[in-house]
Amino acid sequence: MSLLEHLRGELADRESRALIRRRRTLETPCGPHAVVDGREMLSFCSNDYLGLAAHPALAAAIAEGVARWGGGSGASHLVSGHYSVHERLEARLANFTGCERALVFSTGYMVNMGVAAALVGRGDAIFADRLNHASLVDGALLSRAEHHRYAHGDTEALARLLTNSTARRKLIITDSVFSMDGDIAPLTELLALAEAHDAWLLVDDAHGFGVLGPQGRGALAAAGLAHWRLLVVGTLGKAAGLSGAFVAGHADVVEWLMQTMRTYIFTTGSPPALAHALLTAIDLIEHGDALRARLVAHQQQLRGALPLRRWQLMPSSTPIQPIKIGDNAAALGAATALWDAGQWVPAIRPPTVPPGTARLRISLSAAHTPDDITRLTDNLLRIEALQ
């Protein structure tokens, strides 16, 4: 069998197990009402939680940024690609998250791929929630430290692992809001364990930043947590509506990251025009209490209208509202039935989620209306009854 024939066989196997992913093409700006592959659809796919991605103020800020700064940065941040507007954005993000300093990156994946290796290595140990995002898993593996995974949210299991570890340095890694479940990590307990066992704590707040806490300052602010051993990662392509990411923490720790993170040192800096626009995005988040209140109302409306019998609406107090179906083909069939009805909800299957837990992942946005939610819940109840 040739290499190409082998790949074709692997693709056919994925197809037989309902694991093939289909890429859709949007023909309109990001928003609940979209034209997708030539069809008008009501979308519940986006992580644009506050509805800022198509906000006129951000479009104007990007245009203004390009006029002021041009298109690209020209080099890595540590060569000649760091601009005064990057400096202002990092200071704004540090202040907004209650940290001493922040570093801006092009993507959240780059941050999570690099932080662990900068803090721990051979002879050290990482302790990670089993449902962490793939980027955190990959970053842990890249560090070459021992990689211990504890059952999702199980702080007792984590405490046992930490107690039994003889590693010289320890790092606890967790999502704040788990992207496929919508639940929130026990952050207070995790920080207490980090203190008790002299460990770092890295929290990926990708789905909490902009949504949770006072003025959308994130999950750590919502829990009232701050500590020198705590690092927070935030993405700027979800609630912030644009693109990019950051890591924030104690000034000395962030200085160490800047000096040692390969994913920061060896890549071109993000466009200064984007940093210019992100300053406006942070302002919109800070003054977005009405948007966050609308999100909460949408969550309550959806949960109150779904007395499911065979499927399971998973517990979540965030804009991520998953419905666990179980079987891959059944989840894909439900997503297809919704698509046929004009609603776009993705079917999430292994390896993104554990085998036997395939689900519909509903993402709510402040840009949705109560009528949008009603259309979705009516169709969900109808499709569940037919399956």
276 annotated to a ligand binding site:
no
Amino acid in the structure at residue 242: L
From 106, 179, 270, 363, the catalytic residue: 179
Q: Please check the confidence at residue 387 and state whether its pLDDT lies above 90.
A: no
317 annotated to a ligand binding site:
no
> What is the token pair recorded at 362?
């509903």
CATH topology of domain 24-50+289-386: Aspartate Aminotransferase, domain 1 (3.90.1150)
> What is the token pair recorded at 5?
């024939």
Split at pLDDT 50, 70, 90, the class of 272 is very high
Terminal alpha carbon distance of the chain = 40
Q: Give the DSSP H or E segment for 140.
A: helix 134-143
352 annotated to a ligand binding site:
yes
Per-residue confidence (pLDDT) for residue 18, from 0 to 100: 84
Q: Please check the confidence at residue 21 and state whether its pLDDT lies above 90.
A: no
Name the residue among 143, 134, 200, 149 with its Cα closest to residue 171: 200
Q: Supply the mean pLDDT for the chain.
A: 97
> What is the token pair recorded at 276?
């210019």
Instruction: Calculate the CA 294 to chain-centre distance.
Output: 20
Split at pLDDT 50, 70, 90, the class of 22 is confident
Is there a catalytic annotation at residue 176?
Answer: no
Q: What is the pLDDT of residues 97-146, one digit of tens each?
A: 999 999 999 999 999 999 999 999 999 999 999 999 999 999 999 999 99
Q: What is the pLDDT of residues 308-327, one digit of tens each?
A: 999 999 999 999 999 999 99
Is there a catalytic annotation at residue 238?
Answer: yes
Over residues 62-69, the mean pLDDT reads 98
Is there a catalytic annotation at residue 170?
Answer: no
Compute the half-sphere exposure of residue 223: CA atoms within 13 Å on the CB side of its CA. Answer: 21
287 annotated to a ligand binding site:
no
- Asked if residue 345 lies in contact with residue 376, where contact means CB atoms within 8 angstroms, the answer is yes
CATH topology of domain 56-286: Aspartate Aminotransferase; domain 2 (3.40.640)
Residue with tokens 């959308």: 216
55 annotated to a ligand binding site:
no
Between CA 143 and CA 79 the distance in angstroms is 25
From 86, 207, 298, 368, the catalytic residue: 207
- Asked if residue 69 lies in contact with residue 276, where contact means CB atoms within 8 angstroms, the answer is yes
In this structure, what DSSP letter does residue 268 have?
B
- Strands of the chain, DSSP E: 33-36, 39-43, 101-105, 125-129, 146-150, 170-175, 199-204, 230-235, 245-249, 312-313, 320-326, 343-344, 347-348, 358-363
Split at pLDDT 50, 70, 90, the class of 19 is confident
Q: Please check the confidence at residue 1 and state whether its pLDDT lies above 90.
A: no
* Residue extents of the structural domains in the chain: 24-50+289-386, 56-286
234 annotated to a ligand binding site:
no
> What is the token pair recorded at 358?
């395939």
Per-residue confidence (pLDDT) for residue 225, from 0 to 100: 98
pTM confidence score: 0.94
49 annotated to a ligand binding site:
no
Other residues' Cβ atoms within 10 Å of the Cβ of residue 215: 15
Q: Do domains 24-50+289-386 and 56-286 have the same CATH topology?
A: no
Q: What is the pLDDT of residues 361-379, one digit of tens each?
A: 999 999 999 999 999 999 9
Q: Percent of the chain at pLDDT above 90? A: 97
From 77, 148, 170, 238, the catalytic residue: 238
Q: Which of 150-154, 191-195, 303-307, 351-355 has the lowest mean pLDDT?
A: 351-355
